[in-house]
């Protein structure tokens, strides 16, 4: 039973560039949420995708966008990268959007902006 998988594991970019991160949910899950975790802090909710639509969004600028595919996998895109975007980006999957559903995390993508 495959868990949540993310790629790439590490990425180095420069300011102003664009990046795409990928996530495959746990088998049986149809909802994908993305979180940003800065060093020494808790994960911050970016947005959530269900049925290929963005269902909820946290307090992140529209430089952060996403997509969900028919197979439930998801991408996170960040444009015009800033130094402050350096963080661990975590994907979590769950079943449905009704709340009270356990969210399981992937290993994350460590993004460094130079």
Q: Site residues (CB under 8 A) for other proteins?
A: 4, 31, 33, 35, 40-45, 48, 55-56, 58, 90, 92, 94, 96-108
For other proteins, the closer of residues 78 and 92 by Cβ is 92
Tell how strand 74-78 and strand 87-94 pair up: unpaired
Output the smallest distance, CB 43 to other proteins, in A: 5
- Of 14 and 59, nearer to other proteins (C-beta) is 59
Cβ proximity to other proteins: between 38 and 80 the closer is 38
Beta-sheet strands, E only, within the chain: 5-7, 10-13, 19-24, 31-37, 44-50, 53-57, 64-68, 74-78, 87-94, 104-105, 109-113
- Please state the closest distance from residue 56 (CB atom) to other proteins, in A: 5
Output the six-digit token pair for 63.
Answer: 């430089």
Residue 81, token pair as written in the block = 């990268």
The distance of closest approach from Cβ of residue 40 to other proteins in the complex, given in angstroms and rounded to an integer, is 8
């Amino acid at each position: 039973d495959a868990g949540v998988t993310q790629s790439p594991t590490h990425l180095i970019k420069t300011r102003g560039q664009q990046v795409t991160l990928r996530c495959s949910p746990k088998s049986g899950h149809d909802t994908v949420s993305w979180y940003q975790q800065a060093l020494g802090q808790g994960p911050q909710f970016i947005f959530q995708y269900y049925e290929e639509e963005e269902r909820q969004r946290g307090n992140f600028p529209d430089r952060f966008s996403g997509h969900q595919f028919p197979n439930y996998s998801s991408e996170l895109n960040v444009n015009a990268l800033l130094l402050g975007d350096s963080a661990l980006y975590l994907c979590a999957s769950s079943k449905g959007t009704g709340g009270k559903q356990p969210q399981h995390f992937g290993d994350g993508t460590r993004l460094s902006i130079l």
